[in-house]
Amino acid sequence: AQSVTQPDIHITVSEGASLELRCNYSYGATPYLFWYVQSPGQGLQLLLKYFSGDTLVQGIKGFEAEFKRSQSSFNLRKPSVHWSDAAEYFCAVASPSWGKLQFGAGTQVVVTP
């Protein structure tokens, strides 16, 4: 069965500092990989996705993620965090054929001045 692990439940980062959110997955083949962000009281917004090809993926809001097959990881990064980046971030995996996303537990990001 596929699974997604986000080891960090909560991360505090200073505005302007870099951010890295970890995501590890368990899946029989290379799944489709996603990062979503959720602001309070809102739905999920897609930041970026990986289906195949270049393992470094660029997304919206200055985020990028790197797929590492050998480590079964898909970590999200941002070089310089803005206060508006405070939110909850979810990593998700999916089988290419089935429309079911398996989400990680999420990482809450707090941005301090």
Partner 1 sequence: KAGVTQTPRYLIKTRGQQVTLSCSPISGHRSVSWYQQTPGQGLQFLFEYFSETQRNKGNFPGRFSGRQFSNSRSEMNVSTLELGDSALYLCASSYSAGANVLTFGAGSRLTVL
Q: Which is nearer to partner 1, 15 or 103 (by Cβ)? A: 103
Q: Which span (10-18, 19-27, 40-48, 69-77) binds partner 1, by CB under 8 A?
A: 40-48
Does 59 participate in binding partner 1 (rule CB under 8 A)?
no
Per the listing, tokens 């897609």 go with: 46
Output the DSSP codes for 13-68: EETTS-EEE--EEE-SS--EEEEEEE-TT--EEEEEEE-SS-SEEE-GGG-EEEEE
Interaction with partner 1 in 13-32: which residues (CB under 8 A)?
31-32
- Site for partner 1, rule CB under 8 A: 31-32, 36, 41-46, 49, 90, 92, 94-106
